[in-house]
Amino acid sequence: MDFQVVILAGGFSSNLVPLEVPKALLPVANRPVLSYVLDLLESSNLKDLIVVVEGEDAALTVGGYGYLLPVLIVYMFEVAAGALRAIAHHLTAKDILIVSGDIVSDISPGAVAATHRRHDAAVTAMLCAEPVSGSSESGGAGKDKAKKPACYDIIGLDSSKQFLLYIATGVEVKRDTR
């Protein structure tokens, strides 16, 4: 399918202190979260993979997993847009799929890639709705224990929910509404 896949697997979470492991390397059912992402990519026939991690220790850890697919592991000290600029020389395909290394999903990345190609899209984004919090399962009407974010990103879709019309980060929205 000649997509290149960049997996951003270096993010840490301040909510997981004192753990000092990137979220993508945390174990779920005795396997790192990243392994589920790689399995899904392999089953989708997406095989040109670049895993970007933060720091040499994380790179050595990921390199030691022994995946079936050939995986280029790149480590740096900033895993975000700066990381994409830093690995630009590795990106040779017409289409690049950027995947978070800390999300487990049953949505086929191959299907997302095929839809992208079928519509000859410039950009394709996979989104999900935020779950509506209600009363707890125990029947009590207690407050939701999850912290509410200080601001929300805004994403505007057309009525068919197939075309992205607008996107702004919560920080931009807050700044623009002052």
Mind listing the pLDDT tens digit for each residue in 62-107?
Answer: 766 666 667 777 777 765 667 888 889 999 998 999 998 888 888 8
Please calculate the CA angle 167-103-142 and round it to the nearest 5 degrees: 85
115 and 108 Cβ atoms separated by less than 8 Å: no
CA dist., res. 104 & res. 108, Å (int): 11
- CATH for 3-118 is 3.90.550.10
Q: Place 52 in a pLDDT band, splitting at 50, 70 and 90.
A: confident
- The answer to whether residue 113 scores a pLDDT higher than 70 is yes
Mind listing the pLDDT tens digit for each residue in 125-141?
Answer: 887 777 666 555 555 55
Over residues 6-28, mean pLDDT: 82
pTM of the model: 0.74
* Domain segments of the chain as ranges: 3-118, 127-178
